[in-house]
Amino acid sequence: MLVAGFLPQPFAFKISIKIVLLKNIAVIFVGLIKQYCCMGDLQIKKQAKKYDVVIVGSGAGGGMAAYTLTKAGLTVCIIEAGYMYDPQKNITQLKNPWDSPRRGASTVMRPFGDFDACYGGWSLEGEPYTKEAGTDWLWWRARMLGGRTNHWGRISLRFGPKDFKRRSIDGLGDDWPIGYEDIKPYYDKLDKMVGVFGTNEGLENDPDGFFLPPPKPRLHELFIKNAAVQSGVKVIPSRLSILTKPIENDADRKACFFCGQCGRNCSMAKADFSSPNVLIFPAQKTGKLDIIANAMAREVLTNKDGLATGVSYVSKEDMMEYQVSGKIVILAASACESARLLLNSKSQRHPNGLANSSNVVGKYLHDSTGASVSGVLPELFNRKRYNEDGVGGMHIYSPWWLDNKKLDFPRGYHIEYWGGQSMPAYGFGFHIENLNGKYLVHGKQKEAGGYGASLKEDYRYFYGAGVGMAGRGEAIPLESNYCAIDPTTVDKYGIPVLKFNVKWSEHEINQAKHMKETFKEIMHNMGAVITSGADDNEKNDWGLTKPGEIIHEGGTVRMGNDPKRSALNKYSQAHDCKNLFCVDGGQFVSQADKNITWTILALSMRASEYIIDELKKNNL
């Protein structure tokens, strides 16, 4: 039986695909695939097993849902578009620069470098996306178990009370249907279960939590702290989900051993949060979780009553079509992929795409803003060598410290810092001619450039003196910034692709200008010299990153109390389809200047507990 609208018409004929049983998928039950749907030569394989819950995606949102639901005894199937990945086998941690033939340089498959733990990137083979002329969007897609959680910065910031009520404060965007008090219990649970270091500072909009002790600042961070404070910029210990001490009731995860390589995922100690190490594998131990990797979701299937019945997908391994059914479907495929799935899931009951009677799916797409400067701190030239790897990220940061009422932009940003004696990688030593003619080396004026023993002395002299900073700010989610189905383009699986239409507004541009002015002042206070990022101006929007580039996309499946203006209710549940949920960045009404992973985890845990409750009450 073919569900109405299951296949795009051109795909339904004259396609000859051999029937092959799945072999290389990590967890799949051969033999469960019993029923076949036929149309011409194309066959749809249906799994006989019916799960309580089918989840699309295995990152922060999907991982947390799988963890919470399997621990409650529900059977769960995760469909993941990327490879199976096991941090205990797929290791880049503690490798030396020369273990990479390109010395850690980026590739199209690892844009953040050859040691980065996240497979995927800005451009995926066979999976295009398009953009409206004159607009910009960079779309990062992870393609692996655990998604981006394998390499993210572990910056784990609670949204504050104001972050849920921005429209009430500045009249822009919308308020969330929930407040801080609704999500606080979940942040509290996360702190204890996943672990995060930081300090309680009693700040109004950067709430306290249950923190592990932070690491002491590094040398350049002490310089930065002094310089920032001089400009009135608050500096506090950073808040990263890295275990500086073991946490209770989790003997499997060890304390951080300070290699500074969280971007490679902590294979050795599992000290940083990643979905596989902290959520997926523990969930698998319940025996309730199946994972189908290399499975590209095509559509959410619905019945004549408009309820979700499962998900159809194409296997990237054999290019065969499959269906897996569940009582509940949870989307956690990332903001844009989840919106794409909904928009591609059209049926008689949901002619505008699933959960989209409001017509908001794909809209209000927004990312964090970003701008940065970097340079050298001459005081650190010829510095003493010691291991200052620390944790994988900054030990201090600056939460938003100003009142926007007194500024020409409505929302704030936080500042991230870096510098010091890092592991050499591709790019090390580039452009020495910009340094060695400019600064005395051991008191000697040299000619810029050069070669030989004198040049080797220069590299040693300047090593470890780098310092830099970047802002991550809140953008205003606008209805006019959206992704929609491109009417003319499909990917290699025949799935219609997204077309993006996003532009920054003056709010974000003015914010970037403010970032640059602040950073220049801090660098100046420190006595640092900016080598990159000083020349931005109004002609290039003050060096503002491209929309999507910070990889904090959200807003496309937003929640709200009004079904006419939102896709989900306040429990991440579709207004139009009660057994469908979306627990990724899509549900965000706005995203503060706080990296969104921690709140995705909290909202996913909250939605999962709601599901468990509603099932008990027979409401689903």
Partner 1 sequence: MDRRKSLKLLATGAIAAPTVLAGCATDDKKDTAVKAEPTFNLDRNPAELEREKALLAQDKFFTPAEMATITVLGDIIIPKDAVSGSASDAKVPDFIEFIVKDMSQHQIPMKGGLRWLDMQCLTRYEKAFTDCSPQQQIEMVDAIAYPNKSKPEMSQGVQFFKLMRNLTATGFYTSAIGVKDIGYAGNTPNQWNGVPDEVLKQYNKAYTEKELSECVSFDKI
Query: Which of the residues 251 through 280 are near partner 1 (CB under 8 A)?
Result: 257-261, 268
Query: Is 197 one of the binding residues for partner 1 (CB under 8 A)?
Result: yes
CB of 531 to partner 1, least distance (A): 15
The sheet that has 482-490: what strands, in order across it? 130-131, 496-501, 482-490
Cα 223–226–231 angle (5° rounding)? Answer: 125
Based on CB atoms, which residue is closest to partner 1, 197 or 581? 197
CB 118, min distance to partner 1, A: 11
Residue 12 phi/psi, 5° resolution? -85, -5
- Decide the pairing of beta strands 496-501 and 130-131: parallel
**Bridge-based pairing state of the strands 580-582 and 321-331:** parallel
Closest separation in Å from C-beta 455 to partner 1: 7
Cβ 51 to partner 1 shortest distance, Å: 27
Contacts of partner 1 in 50-89 (CB under 8 A): 83, 85
- Tell me: does residue 109 bind partner 1 (CB under 8 A): yes
Cα separation, 591 vs 603, in Å, equals 13
Q: Is 527 in the site for partner 1 (CB under 8 A)?
A: no
Is the CB of 287 or the CB of 386 nearer to partner 1? 386
Binding window for partner 1 (CB under 8 A); candidates: 210-218, 277-285, 297-305, 352-360: 210-218
- Helix axes 219-230 and 506-526, enclosed angle (nearest 10): 110
Task: Spell out, one character per residue from 403 to 432, where the chain touches partner 1: x when CB under 8 A holds, - when not.
Answer: ------------------xxxxxxxxxxxx
Please, what is the minimum distance in Å from the beta carbon of residue 96 to partner 1? 7
Cβ(238)–Cβ(392) below 8 Å: no
Whether 395 contacts 153, CB under 8 Å: no
Those residues whose C-beta lies under 8 Å from the C-beta of residue 145, and which sit 6 or more positions away, are 58, 80, 82, 83, 84, 85, 86, 275, 276, 280, 291, 293
Q: How far is CA 361 from the centre of its chain?
A: 19
360 neighbors 558 (Cβ within 8 angstroms)? yes
* Of residues 450 and 494, the one with the C-beta less far from partner 1: 450
Give least dist CB 124 to partner 1, A: 10
**Based on CB atoms, which residue is closest to partner 1, 395 or 472?**
395
The answer to whether 272 and 196 are in contact (CB under 8 A) is no
Q: Which stretch binds partner 1 (CB under 8 A): 65-73, 105-113, 406-414, 604-612?
A: 105-113
| Region from 36-44, 208-216, 405-413, 568-576 binding partner 1, contact rule CB under 8 A | 208-216
Site for partner 1 in 114-143 (CB under 8 A): 114-115, 117, 119, 125
Q: Which residues contact 219 (CB under 8 A, 6 or more apart)?
A: 380, 383, 388, 420
**Options 113, 217, 282, 370; binder of partner 1; rule CB under 8 A:** 217
Are 457 and 444 contacting, i.e. CB atoms less than 8 angstroms apart?
no
User: 341 CB contacts (<8 Å, ≥6 apart)?
Assistant: 56, 297, 299, 300, 331, 333, 354
Could you say whether residue 525 binds partner 1 (CB under 8 A)? Answer: no
Near partner 1 in 528-587, by CB under 8 A: none
Residue 496 sits at φ, ψ, to 5 deg, of -55, 140
**Closest distance between partner 1 and the C-beta of residue 219, in Å?**
5
Q: At what angle do helices 180-193 and 597-616 cross, to 10 degrees?
A: 100
Q: Site for partner 1 (CB under 8 A): which residue of 35, 107, 359, 537?
A: 107
Q: Minimal distance in Å, beta carbon 97 to partner 1?
A: 4
Quick one: 167 or 383, whose CB is closer to partner 1?
Answer: 383
Q: How far apart are CA 577 and CA 398, in angstroms?
A: 41
Residue 199 binds partner 1, judged by CB under 8 A: yes
Binding residues among 382-401 for partner 1 as defined by CB under 8 A:
383-391
Closest contact distance (angstroms) between CB of 267 and partner 1 is 9
CB of 384 to partner 1, least distance (A): 6
The CA dihedral of 538, 543, 547, 550, to the nearest 10 degrees, is -160
CA separation for the pair 522, 443 (Å, rounded)? 27
One-letter-per-residue 3-state SS of 597-616: HHHHHHHHHHHHHHHHHHHH
Site size toward partner 1 (CB under 8 A) is 83
Q: Which span (237-245, 299-307, 411-419, 476-484) binds partner 1, by CB under 8 A?
A: 237-245
* Minimum distance of partner 1 from residue 217's CB (angstroms): 7
Cβ-based nearer residue to partner 1, 467 or 550: 467
CB-wise, 277 or 338, nearer to partner 1?
277
- Closer residue to partner 1, CB minimum distance, 396 or 475: 396
Nearest residue (CB) to partner 1, 11 versus 211: 211
Q: Which stretch binds partner 1 (CB under 8 A): 97-105, 272-280, 339-347, 581-589?
A: 97-105
Phi, psi of 479 (to 5 degrees): -65, -30
* 234 contacts partner 1 (rule: CB under 8 A): no
Whichever of 125 and 562 has its CB closer to partner 1, that residue is: 125
Q: Which of 214/471 has CB closer to partner 1?
A: 214
Q: Is 229 helix (H, G, I), strand (E, B) or coil?
A: helix
Residue list 430-489, contact with partner 1 (CB under 8 A): 430-433, 437, 447-453, 455-456, 459-460, 463
**Binding residue for partner 1 (CB under 8 A) from 47, 75, 92, 398?**
92
Interface residue with partner 1 among 34, 102, 285, 616 (CB under 8 A) is 102
How far is it, in rounded angstroms, from Cα 598 to Cα 356? 27
CA distance 478 to 555: 9
Could you tell me the smallest distance in angstroms from the CB atom of residue 381 to partner 1? 12
* Single residue of 2, 19, 48, 222 touching partner 1 by CB under 8 A: 222
What's the CA gap between 341 and 356, in Å, rounded? 11
**Rounded Cα distance, 151 and 275, in Å:** 10
- Least separation in angstroms between CB 248 and partner 1: 16
CA end-to-end distance (rounded Å), the chain: 25
In terms of CB distance, is 5 or 450 closer to partner 1? Answer: 450
DSSP assignment of 365-413 equals -B--EEEEEEEE-GGGTTPPP-----SSS-SEEE---S-GGGSSSSS-E
Cα separation, 583 vs 159, in Å, equals: 16
- State yes or no: residue 245 binds partner 1 (CB under 8 A): yes
Sign, Cα dihedral of 257, 262, 264, 270: positive
Smallest distance, Å, CB 363 to partner 1? 33
3-state helix, strand, coil in the chain (%, to 5): 25, 20, 55
- Shortest Cβ 140–partner 1 spacing (Å): 17
